[in-house]
């Protein structure tokens, strides 16, 4: 193990993270937990729009499956939402050279319109120190592509605003500084956390309502979460229609729900597979396609990865999922044809069937494509269909759908699939519930093998003896624990996880049912003590030295692994520190647990948990001789995992376990990163 020169590649410096403040007057006791009943919140209604593609949307009325394919010809979600960035407007689209005379007159009228339009825009003249703002741009005389301003102004906070009507303004973001990348990634992550938190809390509240005999109208939780966020103007990218890459969204990002694609602005249609700016909202009066979803819904699709033959929309029977009519060059099909004409890149999202998904499918963002040709063809069912050939733009990250397939092949035969480099299948020697492999194809470094693998931390005997401290023991539940269990009382009157082991919301400390409890191992309140749930790999990285990644798709809010080593008391820490041993200090990790489950953007009365009580931690974990996979997590000030303190084998609150949970959906082969809460100069003093 080397001392980290690392830091995650997303940042070279670390800034203090601000977390939700605790409102004054909150009583930190078990009888006053912060809880909200989402079923009491009114679901918003959305105003109708005149464009045929943009119809009324009431999230409560949608009964379509989240696995709907790209051919549905009805119901489109109000797409691409407000966010805290102002981009410069799109320069006008240019027709072919055979229309130069007509286009010259169009130019003159367009300039007059833009001059009038920009005077009505009150765009601030300054913002992010790393970007500039342009409110207008000259119209090109002839071009086959969109020309857009490259910079933006970013506000520092999410603010509540009155809902804005979607603009005809289309933009492309072509330059972002490193700090901007971090800002937008955190913005997207925060939005996704809010969506997921509302979704799981809605399910919990509906289950509680049914269990208490109360009447609760069952709704799809993802629709309700999206509706609540829409009503608070929390959808991203609504007042700007982004062409190309969206800041804060990376190639390979994975989503379980179509509604989540809408919430982050990646794809604005609830069911239809083609998202576009309709003609009535386009400056030049022509529809422009921005993204498509490929999910195997049309039999004439031919998906070759980098080369995609995409079948247009329309003509399909909604119940039989078969073609029953010929397609027409209108709506989404016409928008794709216009995007080909102007050379506009298309975001491609693939829907893939996955057994571990709560919906049976995942949606993977695979990057940008260009349409190179389109034609009318006779499909397999004998009806005429429009086909579009798309080529993936070079120089992007590997497709997420490809990485899912590679990960599946590696899990099936990990040894033969590694055709070069140093590889060991399981450095834990069976101590973990899933193997922890090591792989190095860069150099001959084998540093992780020099240390004993320690699956669980070793505590001083005096700490372990405090299991029955303060007269408290385990619960006496014969079957799975319920809400009146004494362990639930310790947690503030509620359990920390849902039925799938997903963390409902972060807390200063979580009590799990443990060794002294009578409940079975299947109890919902036993999660982290069961060990890792995914095959992990320690790998050699060019950017971070040694890093950790998973061969599985890790769902947001789920347990990954524990930080393990030899636990030292405060006195032992002071002695060992003088000897320059490699120590991990739990007190230095920032409280990112407060981010998970925070729905204060939707409910102003939400209170960040302050119970169960956690004192100031003064112990350390020595990883100089024995350690586990968590000790190779790289640092980032925009991390995808966080530390949650948990107790299950003793009740000594001064020595909790350091459990690692995911902040977002983490696809296979994406490096796991954590915020150690220290500046770069101190990283070298850590073992990491």
**228 and 330 assigned to the same domain:** yes
Contact between 72 and 271 (Cβ < 8 Å): yes
Tens-digit pLDDT profile for residues 638-661: 899 999 999 988 888 999 999 999
**375 and 478 assigned to the same domain:** no
Rounded to an integer, the average pLDDT of 302-314 is 90
**532 and 587 assigned to the same domain:** yes
- Among 356, 381, 404, the domain-final residue is 404
**193 and 322 assigned to the same domain:** yes
235 within domain boundaries: yes
377 within domain boundaries: yes
Percentage, residues of the chain above pLDDT 70: 69
The pLDDT assigned to 499 comes to 86
- Ranking 90-104, 114-128, 417-431, 554-568 by mean pLDDT, the lowest is 114-128
The pLDDT assigned to 101 comes to 53
- Ranking 54-58, 216-220, 369-373, 441-445 by mean pLDDT, the lowest is 54-58
For 7-55, where are the E strands, in sequence order?
none
**400 and 274 assigned to the same domain:** yes
Select the more confidently predicted residue: 209 or 56. Answer: 209
CATH of the domain at 624: 2.170.270.10
Q: Tokens 């119940």 correspond to what residue?
A: 319
Tens-digit pLDDT profile for residues 65-116: 434 444 433 322 222 223 333 233 333 333 444 445 555 554 555 555 455 4
Select the more confidently predicted residue: 444 or 688. Answer: 444
Percentage, residues of the chain above pLDDT 90: 41
Q: Which of 482, 484, 487 is nearest to 517 (CA)?
A: 487
- Among 354, 378, 404, the domain-final residue is 404
- Among 351, 377, 404, the domain-final residue is 404
**362 and 434 assigned to the same domain:** no
10 within domain boundaries: no
Partners of residue 289 on adjacent β-strands: 276
Residues 6+ apart with CB under 8 A from 321: 69, 297
H/E run at residue 674: strand 673-674
Tens-digit pLDDT profile for residues 468-478: 444 456 788 87
Contacts 24+ apart (CB under 8 A), 111-120: 111/139, 113/283, 114/89, 114/139, 117/89, 118/89
DSSP 629: G
For the chain, the domain total comes to 2
CATH of the domain at 252: 2.30.280.10
Q: How confident is the model at residue 173 (pLDDT cuts 50, 70, 90)?
A: confident
Find the domain containing 615 and state its range. Answer: 419-683
Q: How many CB atoms lie within 10 A of CB 167?
A: 18
**377 and 520 assigned to the same domain:** no
Contact between 637 and 11 (Cβ < 8 Å): yes
625 within domain boundaries: yes
User: What is the C-alpha R_g of the chain?
Assistant: 27
Residues across the chain: 688
Longest Cα pair distance anywhere in the chain, in angstroms?
90
Residue 193, pLDDT above cutoff 80: yes
The pLDDT assigned to 118 comes to 46
The pLDDT assigned to 296 comes to 79
Checking DSSP bridges between strand 307-311 and strand 361-378, what pairing results, if any? unpaired
**380 and 432 assigned to the same domain:** no
Tens-digit pLDDT profile for residues 438-453: 999 899 899 899 999 9
Checking DSSP bridges between strand 673-674 and strand 634-635, what pairing results, if any? parallel
Query: What is the crossing angle of helices 178-211 and 221-231, to 10°?
Result: 120
**386 and 430 assigned to the same domain:** no
**223 and 276 assigned to the same domain:** yes
Q: Which of 82, 80, 67 is nearest to 268 (CA)?
A: 80
**393 and 512 assigned to the same domain:** no
Tens-digit pLDDT profile for residues 602-649: 998 898 898 899 999 999 999 998 999 999 999 998 899 999 999 988
Report the C-alpha gap between 271 and 318 in whole angstroms. Answer: 11
Q: Which of 638, 658, 673, 668 is nearest to 189 (CA)?
A: 638
30 within domain boundaries: no
Report the C-alpha gap between 209 and 126 in whole angstroms. Answer: 49
**125 and 229 assigned to the same domain:** yes
Partners of residue 526 on adjacent β-strands: none
The pLDDT assigned to 617 comes to 94
Contact between 348 and 292 (Cβ < 8 Å): yes
The pLDDT assigned to 130 comes to 41
**Tokens in use for 468?**
């029955």
Tens-digit pLDDT profile for residues 505-526: 999 999 998 888 888 888 889 9
The pLDDT assigned to 64 comes to 38
Contact between 405 and 423 (Cβ < 8 Å): no
37 within domain boundaries: no
Checking DSSP bridges between strand 510-511 and strand 641-647, what pairing results, if any? parallel
């Amino acid at each position: 193990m080397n001392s980290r020169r690392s830091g995650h590649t997303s940042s070279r410096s670390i800034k203090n993270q601000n977390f939700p403040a605790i409102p004054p007057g909150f009583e930190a006791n078990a009888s006053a937990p912060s809880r909200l009943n989402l079923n009491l919140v009114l679901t918003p209604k959305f105003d109708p729009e005149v464009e045929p593609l943009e119809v009324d949307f009431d999230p409560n009325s949608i009964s379509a499956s989240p696995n709907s394919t790209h051919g549905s010809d009805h119901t489109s979600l109000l797409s691409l939402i407000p966010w805290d960035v102002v981009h410069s407007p799109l320069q006008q689209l240019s027709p072919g050279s055979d229309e130069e005379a007509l286009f010259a007159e169009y130019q003159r009228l367009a300039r007059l319109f833009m001059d009038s339009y920009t005077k009505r825009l009150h765009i601030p003249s300054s913002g992010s120190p790393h970007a500039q703002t342009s409110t207008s741009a000259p119209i090109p005389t002839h071009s086959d592509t969109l020309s857009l301003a490259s910079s933006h102004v970013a506000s520092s906070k999410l603010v509540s605003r009155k809902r804005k009507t979607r603009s005809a303004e289309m933009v492309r973001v072509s330059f972002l500084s490193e700090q901007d990348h971090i800002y937008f990634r955190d913005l997207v992550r925060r939005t996704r956390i809010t969506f997921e938190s509302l979704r799981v809390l809605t399910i919990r509240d509906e289950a509680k309502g049914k269990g208490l005999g109360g009447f609760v109208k069952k709704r799809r939780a993802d629709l309700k979460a999206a509706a609540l966020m829409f009503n608070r103007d929390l959808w991203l990218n609504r007042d700007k229609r982004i062409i190309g890459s969206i800041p804060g969204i990376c190639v390979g990002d994975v989503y379980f729900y179509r509604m989540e694609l809408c919430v982050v602005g990646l794809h604005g249609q609830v069911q239809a597979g083609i998202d576009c700016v309709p003609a009535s909202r386009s400056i030049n009066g022509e529809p422009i396609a921005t993204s498509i979803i490929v999910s195997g819904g049309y039999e004439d699709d031919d998906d070759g990865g980098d080369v995609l033959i995409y079948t247009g929309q329309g003509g399909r029977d909604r119940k039989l999922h078969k073609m029953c009519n010929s397609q027409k060059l209108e709506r989404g099909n016409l928008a794709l044809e216009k995007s080909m004409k102007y050379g506009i890149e298309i975001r491609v999202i693939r829907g893939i069937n996955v057994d571990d998904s709560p919906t049976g499918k995942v949606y993977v963002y695979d990057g940008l494509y260009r349409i190179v040709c389109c034609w009318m063809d006779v499909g397999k069912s004998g009806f005429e269909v429009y086909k579009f050939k798309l080529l993936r733009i070079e120089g992007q990250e590997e497709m997420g759908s490809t990485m899912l397939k590679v990960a599946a092949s590696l899990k099936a035969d990990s040894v033969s699939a590694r055709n070069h480099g140093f590889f060991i299948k399981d450095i834990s020697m069976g101590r973990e519930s899933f193997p922890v492999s090591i792989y190095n194809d860069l150099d001959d470094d084998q540093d992780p093998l020099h240390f004993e693998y320690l699956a669980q931390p070793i505590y001083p005997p005096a700490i372990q003896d405090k299991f029955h401290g303060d007269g408290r023991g385990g619960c006496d539940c014969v079957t799975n624990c319920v809400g009146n269990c004494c362990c639930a009382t310790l947690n503030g009157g509620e359990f920390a996880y849902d039925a799938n082991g997903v963390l409902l919301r972060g807390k200063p400390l979580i009590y799990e049912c443990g060794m002294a409890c009578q409940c079975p191992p299947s109890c919902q309140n036993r999660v982290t003590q069961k060990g890792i749930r995914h095959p992990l790999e320690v790998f050699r990285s060019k950017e971070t030295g040694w890093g950790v990644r998973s061969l599985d798709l890790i769902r947001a809010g789920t347990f990954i692994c524990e930080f393990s080593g030899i636990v030292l008391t405060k006195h032992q820490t002071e002695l060992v520190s003088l000897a320059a041993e490699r120590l991990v200090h739990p007190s230095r990790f920032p409280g990112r647990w407060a981010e998970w489950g925070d729905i204060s953007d939707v409910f102003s009365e939400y209170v960040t948990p302050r119970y169960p009580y956690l004192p100031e931690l003064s112990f350390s974990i020595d990883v100089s001789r024995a350690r586990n996979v968590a000790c190779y997590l790289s640092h980032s000030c925009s991390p995808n995992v966080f530390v949650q303190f948990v107790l299950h084998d003793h009740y000594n609150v001064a020595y909790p376990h350091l459990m690692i949970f995911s902040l977002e959906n983490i696809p296979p082969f994406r490096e796991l990163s954590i915020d150690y809460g220290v500046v770069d100069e101190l990283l070298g003093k850590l073992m990491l």
